[in-house]
Amino acid sequence: MTLTSAPLNRDPDVTSHWHRRMFGRPGRLFEPLLILAGLLAILFALVYPMVFILLGSFKTQGGLLASATAFTWANYITLFTGGFGRFLVNSLVICVAATALSTLVSVNAAYVFSRFRFRGKGLIFGSVLFGQMFPWIVLVNPLFILLTQAGFTNSYTGMIFCYTAISIPFSVYMLTGYLATVPRELDEAALIDGASRYQVVWRIVFPVLMPGIVSTATYAFMLCWTEYLFALAFLTKPAVQTLPIGLYQLFGDDRADWGAVMAASVVTTIPTLLLFLPLQARLSSGLTAGAVK
């Protein structure tokens, strides 16, 4: 009597399931490696220019020459002895004042849009956001005529007015969205306890609104800090010009001092880093919450 073994089960579904259990899904290892390679490429593209500028600021001609290997402070000395520090002070005064003023106006406007119902509310809110739709170059001529007639050209006041106006629409939109996440019961409880609307806004809502305020204030500061077009059109005297104009002046007609340019780029970046890095956690949470409508 001959014994024959039963044929093995070759069910493809069972085999495929066993293969996945033992060796994993095909491409499971390849996909993380591909994602990691992409992230490293993006990181390199972002970090390399900053490292190159930082190192170049300590070398003659920005390290563009083959013989420029020694480190030196000459670029920074030349930069500040040439009056670049004045551009830095002008930018700090204008941007800090414009950011504070736009934040003050935006908090009150956002509270009104978020908490009150009145006729024409949608039209007024849409008009505020409509200010974001204009290319800034369209506004140069009317703003220049307005500032000239008011006597605010070549002045801190005129630039603070302009920067406050262009940063308010987005700040109002963000803070209105963030206030939608703040319970109205806080306002009602404070009003029952005898607080005025002013006290409700600045003593009750303001501390809760702090992440959103940090986000909008950071946006407003960065917008003012890097703005070039209005500064070029409205500031013609070196005594009141800002950092973008100062950077532009480092480029001559036929040559540029690349060492000074890179040193100026580092000096221009430092205040934004000092502002952004400590507030990064609140900035991300504020932007996320402000997106809720």
Instruction: For tokens 């806004």, name the residue.
Output: 201
DSSP string computed for 179-230 = HTTS-HHHHHHHHHTT--HHHIIIIIIHHHTHHHHHHHHHHHHHHHHT--HH
- pLDDT of residue 293 exceeding 70, the answer is no
Q: Which H or E run contains 121?
A: helix 121-130
User: For residue 44, is pLDDT > 80?
Assistant: yes
pLDDT digits (tens, 9 = 90+) for 70-108: 778 888 888 888 888 899 999 999 999 999 999 999 999
- Mean per-residue pLDDT, 221-233: 91
- CATH fold label, 83-290: MetI-like fold (1.10.3720)
Among 18-22, 34-38, 56-60, 79-83, where is mean pLDDT lowest? 18-22
Is a pLDDT exceeding 80 seen at residue 5? no
pLDDT at residue 116, rounded to an integer: 84
Helix (H) or strand (E) segment spanning residue 10: none
Judged against a pLDDT cut of 70, whether residue 15 lies above it is answered with no
Which residue in 212, 122, 209, 125 sits closest to 169, CA to CA? 125
pLDDT, tens only, 191-202: 888 888 888 888
pLDDT band for position 28 (cuts 50, 70, 90): low
**pLDDT band at residue 121, thresholds of 50, 70 and 90?**
confident
**Using an 8 Å Cβ cutoff, are 263 and 75 in contact?**
yes
Residue 45 has pLDDT above 70, yes or no: yes
Mean pLDDT of 173-187: 84
pLDDT tens sequence across 247-276? 888 887 677 778 888 889 899 988 888 877
Residue 7 has pLDDT above 50, yes or no: no
* Better-predicted residue by pLDDT, 33 or 4: 33
Name the residue with higher pLDDT: 289 or 246: 246
Cβ-based neighbours of 260, under 8 Å, separated by 6 or more: 75, 78, 79, 82, 250
| Residues 248 and 234: beta-carbon distance below 8 Å | no
What's the whole-number mean pLDDT along residues 144-167? 91
Q: Quick one: average pLDDT of 121-129?
A: 85
Per-residue pLDDT at 234 = 92
What pTM does this model have? 0.78
Name the residue among 165, 195, 175, 45 with its Cα closest to residue 108: 175
Cα-trace Rg, the chain: 29
Report the pLDDT value the prediction gives residue 1, as an integer from 0 to 100. 45
pLDDT band at 292 (very low <50, low <70, confident <90, very high): very low
Angle between helices 74-81 and 84-115 (to 10 degrees): 80
What is the location of CATH 1.10.3720.10 in the chain? 83-290
Question: Does the pLDDT at position 163 exceed 90?
Answer: yes
